[in-house]
Amino acid sequence: MANELQGTLRDSFMIHIAGEGLPINHIKLAVKPGEKRTPVNKMLKSLTQAGYKRIGDILDAQYSKIDIINGLERSECKLLIGLLQRISDDPSLIINLEVLRFLEEEYIMKEERKGKIEVIKHRLREMGMIE
């Protein structure tokens, strides 16, 4: 436990990179139906006031610093850890994985196309057809 407190939250939670860029309010999406949202809203307000804007900002925070954020109670720290664990276990709570896969495939296709174009340009330069 002592080693855990020296690391960052990122060391404990594997949250998809697309989720890291989302505003911290997206953490609310991990709240299960029937659970109270008031403590979550209060926790998010405290985090926002402390300067945390994105989920990645929270992941970069030291465990030891989370406990001393003004206005963040111990129960809210546990709540934050629990919600981050849910998101880590099921990233689809905050991001649409199908859309994400589609965007990643599109990006890969564009990069492959760029690579092929560069090969063609190189060959044309060698042949003296373009500069």
Condensed to tens digits (0 to 9), the pLDDT of residues 1-46 reads 444 557 888 888 888 887 888 899 889 988 888 888 889 999 999 9
User: Has residue 118 been placed in a domain?
Assistant: yes
Same domain? For 83 and 38 the reply is yes
Residue numbers of the domain that contains 108: 96-130
Same domain? For 77 and 126 the reply is no
Mean pLDDT, residues 61-67: 80
Q: What is the pLDDT of residues 65-80, one digit of tens each?
A: 777 777 788 888 899 9
Q: Give pTM, 2 decimals.
A: 0.67
The answer to whether 68 and 19 are in contact (CB under 8 A) is no
Same domain? For 33 and 68 the reply is yes
3-state secondary structure (DSSP) of residue 23: strand
Same domain? For 23 and 82 the reply is yes
Same domain? For 45 and 33 the reply is yes
The answer to whether 29 and 68 are in contact (CB under 8 A) is no
> Residue 99 has what pLDDT?
66
> Residue 1 has what pLDDT?
42
- How many domains would you assign to the chain? 2
**CA gap 108, 118 in Å, rounded:** 15
